[in-house]
Chains A and B, each alone.
Chain A
Amino acid sequence: MNKESVLIYPYDSQFTPLLRHKGFVDNYDKIQLSSLPGWGLCGKDASYADGGEFIGLTVSQEFDEILSEADTVIFAEADNPYHLEKMIYPKIFSAIEAGKNIVTLIQVDEKADEIKKKCERKGVRFTNYRENSLDHTDFLDQMKSEFKKEIVDSRIPILAVIGLAEHTNKFQLQLDLKATIENMGYKVSMVGSRAYCELLGFHSFPAFMKEVISESDKILCYNRYIKRIELTEKPDLIIVAVPGGFMRYNNKIINDFGITAYEIFQAIVPDAVVLSLFHEKYTVDYLDGIIKSVKYKLGLEIDAFNISNRQIDWVEMTNSQPDVISTLTLNPEFMKKSIEECKALSQIPVFNILEKGDAERITNLIIDKLSEIEMAVNF
């Protein structure tokens, strides 16, 4: 079967992990990237967005001009703010008019029906990955029929991926760990932290966790959800990623007060944990504080730190007090040096997932740990 040619719009750092993921790239014959000129990426290699290793795809400022070469257009979620009416919908409609298949990772609720109808009329495919239909009723009905609302233990090892906040390269970490563990011959199921993970062949964070049901029902549902994956997919390992951050960052950036993370770790008990942090000039005391915070808030022991190549933009955070964390990209050479300094301080192994070989090193560490568990005489 001939592979398709795909155009990604609007491209920025949120999409870069997918370009570094073989499972995505191998699906397409040709990948083109279009971005908005003000985002500062046009004319540069796609890797400029995340500051990682060279990718070999140049970001274009054009959309209409390169549209003709694509079979499908993926309208991607972006880290930069964008205007749906001005920047997205007109491009979706012109892509439909040009007879291209449409994939939306972006939330297009208000226009979803219109897009669907236009696609049908034009005879092109429309796939909306934001229609996350997994609600709580299945799980709660099941518990009702069993006359018990209780946690069921998992028999499969679970690896948890958590982050201090958004923009700590957590999605890249999930993708790389999954791929590396699979390359070692294991079967891996994953519940990712984003809402469109089905595009990559694994599970999105379930919608019922954002529904208006009681918190304890959410915990029970998540527990049953993981159990269902265990029973139906029969993996060797389940990777569970937590969206957002695990604790309040400041008075304005509340990270859901860590409630989502807390609920997930009431529902399941992971066997290994990787924590993603921003880059910072850390001290022994700070890292110790983080370890304790995770231990006493979530009941987890951290096995590895992933230090992302992003640092909090303290000038912006202090002066403007924004509602979201503002960050600065750090160059690979800087990171190499800084990670070495951090390793000397930390009692827990430190990695940077964007550094070549670190995905394998984290995986080996995790597999070693899980093998120890395997050696125990458990039933």
Chain B
Amino acid sequence: MPIDKKPLINSFENMNKFYFFDVNKNKIINVDEETYKALNAPETTGSSELPSIKKLKNQGYLSNNRVEKIEHINGRMLEELLGYNLRKIILQVTQNCNFRCNYCVYSGSYVNRIHSNKRMDFATARKGIDFLIAHSKDSKEIDIGFYGGEPLLEIDLITQCMDYAVKAAEGKNVTFSLTTNGSLLNEANVKRLLGYKLRITVSLDGPQEVHDKNRTFASNGCGTFNAVYNNIRRIVEKYPEIKRNLSFSMVIDPTAQFNCLDEFIAGEEEFFNESAVMGSFISNVYRDDQLQFSENFVGEWEYSKFRFLLFVLGKISVANNSQLIRAAYREHFEYISKSHREITPLAKQDHHSGPCVPGQIRLFMSTDANFYPCERVSETSDIMKIGNIEDGFYFDKIEELLNVGKLTEENCKECFAFRNCRICASLSDDGNQLSKETKLKACQDVRFNVDEMLKDVCTLKECGFKKEMIQMTTGF
């Protein structure tokens, strides 16, 4: 049978049961062994005659419908999306940092810029803010982010920008965000930041031994944990209201142990309560060498995830219920909460999920006023430079980044993860241009993760999981 005549499904076994995931319906179907075998038979040889298969086809399952052309629907309206609907601008107020973290993307271990003394002046920042306001008439609210290096090295500029934006954007709900290493989050600085709708994300990697392993001061190479931790304690004590707008970002080092992070969060309940804790692994994107996960780490991480599921199922009363763990199940719960919905089959012209319109959601402006799709891409990669404050957007480049699926067009048309893909241009950038090979490596991870997610979802169903449990126990 020609490949494009086969149904677009992913069949799998889980806990001695048989399933297939139907891409066109975005649904998992539990079938008997005979049907499963027939679906996986290399030739049709009458297997399509099985009554169970006939019935499924009558219900719209097992369709061989595929996307015929990989083309993102938003590519047709980039001028509008970027002209009227910008959501956020992230200002790189400085390229300098008072930390030297081992895993930092600006440390020299990545294909990216390195730390420098470049800073943004107010005239440039103001142009960036004006650009956001002028390009967001259809956005209900806008956000201005401050990023570095360490942005608090430029606190004067930050407060000047916020004062300006509040006035310049009168009538629009304008919020601010700041990503900081926390070392300069002292009382004097915090006092200056109060009164703005500002969300502060502090990088804190765990207990002292874990945090200090990677995060050290540039000046003396000493660990930074005490400085950050004590700052937070002091400011929360003095200004308790700040907690609601404080979140923590933990960069997880998979060469270390996971249990100590778990224990740290549990043991510091008062410190973390009311604040979100987000976790992410040390980035492998643009990295010169590949990061290796230690065996201990994988075991502990998986066990922690397992305990979280038991907690959600009501089988145990206490578990790590932090956002660190919840994030690992975000896709699962998203799938479960939408699983009952009828969905239209794949369109003839479509693009896999994953890419957002480059620049629309998190436009990143460097100190020298160049535009990038977001703060996570490499500033030295030519393809990622999508405009600047004087010229505006380079729409050709943006369209190329948005349609990253064209790199792997034939693979994408046959891929069961088409609707659940997370790949955007940043995962396909070889450091200078979009690369099919780089993207295909990312594809392997996505397909593995989606396959695992589908199996986990089936396991949860078998264990009596109900949609309502997501809200009740996790607040998703």
Mark A residues whose CB is within 8 Å of B.
10, 35-41, 48-49, 80-82, 87, 281, 311, 313, 315-316, 320, 322, 326-331, 334
Contacts and interface: CB of A to CB of B under 8 A. Distances in A.
Contact of B77 (A35, A82, A330): A330
Given A39-B137, A328-B138, 7 more contacts: A10-B171, A35-B171, A36-B171, A38-B172, A40-B137, A281-B73, A330-B77
Nearest to A78: B171
Interface stretch (B128-136, B277-285, B414-422): B128-136
Interface string B114-148: 00000000000000000001111111101000000
30 contacts: A35-B171, A36-B170, A37-B133, A37-B168, A37-B169, A37-B170, A37-B171, A38-B142, A38-B169, A39-B171, A40-B133, A40-B134, A40-B135, A40-B136, A48-B137, A81-B140, A81-B173, A82-B171, A313-B85, A315-B356, A316-B139, A320-B140, A326-B138, A328-B80, A328-B81, A329-B137, A329-B138, A331-B83, A334-B77, A334-B79
A327 B83 CA distance: 13
B250 interface: no
B84 interface: yes
Given A326-B140, A328-B85, A334 B174 contact: no
Contacts of B402: none
A316 B171 contact: no
A315 to B, nearest CB: 7
Contacts of B80: 328-331, 334
B76 interface: yes
A346 B174 CA distance: 42
A331 B79 contact: yes
B361 interface: yes
Nearest to A327: B138
Contacts of B138: 313, 326-329
Nearest first, the 5 closest Cβ-Cβ pairs linking A and B are A36-B171, A38-B172, A40-B137, A38-B169, A38-B171
Given A330-B77, A334-B76, A49 B137 contact: yes
A331 to B, nearest CB: 6
Contacts of A311: 77
Interface residues of B, number: 29
B171 A328 contact: no
A329 B135 CA distance: 12
Nearest to A330: B80
B42 to A, nearest CB: 34
A322 B360 CA distance: 19
A59 to B, nearest CB: 11
User: Which of B76, B137, B361 has the most C-beta atoms of chain A within 10 angstroms of its own C-beta?
Assistant: B137
A173 to B, nearest CB: 20
A326 B136 CA distance: 13
Nearest to B169: A38
B74 to A, nearest CB: 9
A305 B193 CA distance: 52
A313 B73 CA distance: 13
Contacts of A330: 77, 80
A38 B143 CA distance: 12
B476 to A, nearest CB: 13
B174 A38 contact: yes
Nearest to A311: B77
A48 B79 CA distance: 14
B84 A329 contact: yes
A323 B261 CA distance: 38
A313 B86 CA distance: 12
Contacts of B168: 37-38
Contacts of B79: 331, 334
A232 to B, nearest CB: 42
A39 B170 CA distance: 8
Nearest to B133: A40
Interface string B294-316: 00000000000000000000000
Contacts of A48: 137
Contacts of B169: 37-38
B152 to A, nearest CB: 26
Contacts of B73: 281
Interface in B64-90: 73, 76-77, 79-81, 83-85
Contacts of B360: 315
